[in-house]
Amino acid sequence: MSDWQFPGGDLMKGRRGLVMGVANDRSIAWGISQQLAAQGADLAFTYQGEALERRVRPLIESIGMSTMIPVDVTSDTDMDAAFAKLKSLWGKIDFLVHAIAFAGKDELQGSFVDNTTREGFRRAMDISVFSFVDAAKRASALMPDGGSVVTLTYLGAERVVPSYNVMGVAKAGLEAAMRYAARDLGPRGVRVNAISAGPMRTLAMAGIRGGRQLMSTGKQWSLLKEDTSMEGVAGCALYLLSPLGRSIAGEVIHVDAGFHVVGVPDEAGDDV
């Protein structure tokens, strides 16, 4: 089990929300869930497939939660049923965490131009971008008193990262979708934002060829000379999802130990 430390309190007391994307105890959505629960939030979870149910149930029970809803985000039937269940359970919600992305292994390596197929492109966009638009629409319909929506992105949306390929294009789409959703939902009091996390050792990362290299470069080049921490990402999510994040909308916050501001790494200046 992970040994992350999450500060307790009651910032989220009385607030309820849906978390999409817990696959195991390394998932970013799981770190965020632990932090939200430690601050008093009530959480419901979506999961994909029976195997995940078996893996995720003990995790959510360990933080005192029990609601799990099966959802493949490519299925309208699943999404209809999930949000109907949420509505019958709670009537309204206060927040949504969207931490879902997918691209085929063959596409997460080598040449972007050569390896991106029409079907792979469509699937990456559907699961990683449309699912956000769809979930934000459905969740905001359950937020009559306003609320907060957070999605997870990566620097590969803004810069070229080896092997990230079609997922970088999807994340660029996700960030744009986040801004358009923030524009539409803002007048209803729903704040929509994204966290751009540095590389973290999760199942999704394992699918990217050279993922380990991304992690070591991330640490070596970062301003803080450290890996991105789950505590930092979860803390940022808490900030955005709680009243602390008031007035923040349409924003991408980088939580990557400062990696994103580096133009040239220190090592390159050694013999200047």
CB of 65 to ligand NAP, least distance (A): 16
Q: Is residue 257 a contact residue for ligand NAP (CB under 6 A)?
A: no
- Beta strand 147-153 with 95-98: parallel, antiparallel or unpaired? parallel
Residues 142-161 that bind ligand NAP (CB under 6 A): 152-154
Contact with ligand NAP (CB under 6 A) among 205, 209, 250, 258:
205
Comparing CB distances to ligand NAP, the nearer of 261 and 272 is: 261
Total interface residues for ligand NAP by CB under 6 A: 28
Residue type (1 letter), 135: A
CB of 271 to ligand NAP, least distance (A): 32
Comparing CB distances to ligand NAP, the nearer of 40 and 70 is: 70
Q: Is residue 52 a contact residue for ligand NAP (CB under 6 A)?
A: yes
* Residue whose C-alpha is closest to residue 44's, from 52, 54, 26, 56: 56
Contact with ligand NAP (CB under 6 A) among 67, 74, 109, 115:
74
d(CA 145, CA 59): 30
> Which residues are registered as beta bridge partners of 190?
147
CB of 157 to ligand NAP, least distance (A): 9
Residue 164 annotated among the catalytic residues of the structure: yes
Residue 46 three-state SS: strand
CA 139 centroid distance within chain: 15
Q: Is residue 197 a contact residue for ligand NAP (CB under 6 A)?
A: yes
> Which residues are registered as beta bridge partners of 254?
196
> DSSP per residue over 184-227, as a string?
HHGGGTEEEEEEEEPP--SHHHHTSTTHHHHHHHHHHHSSSSSP
Comparing CB distances to ligand NAP, the nearer of 53 and 145 is: 53
Of the candidate spans 62-70, 100-108, 136-144, 186-194, the one that interacts with ligand NAP by CB under 6 A turns out to be: 100-108
Residue 31 three-state SS: helix
Alpha-carbon distances, residue 116 vs 68, 119, 142, 164 (angstroms): 34, 8, 37, 11
Q: Is residue 72 a contact residue for ligand NAP (CB under 6 A)?
A: yes
By residue count, the chain amounts to: 272
Query: What sign does the dihedral 100-106-107-111 (CA atoms) show?
Result: positive
Comparing CB distances to ligand NAP, the nearer of 135 and 190 is: 135
Expressed in angstroms, the distance from the first to the final Cα of the chain is 46
Of the candidate spans 16-24, 141-149, 177-185, 235-243, the one that interacts with ligand NAP by CB under 6 A turns out to be: 16-24
Comparing CB distances to ligand NAP, the nearer of 100 and 125 is: 100
> Which residues are registered as beta bridge partners of 252?
194
Residue 239 annotated among the catalytic residues of the structure: no
Residues 26-45 that bind ligand NAP (CB under 6 A): 27-29
Binding residues for ligand NAP (CB under 6 A): 21-23, 27-29, 48-49, 52, 71-74, 99-102, 127, 152-154, 197, 199-200, 202-205
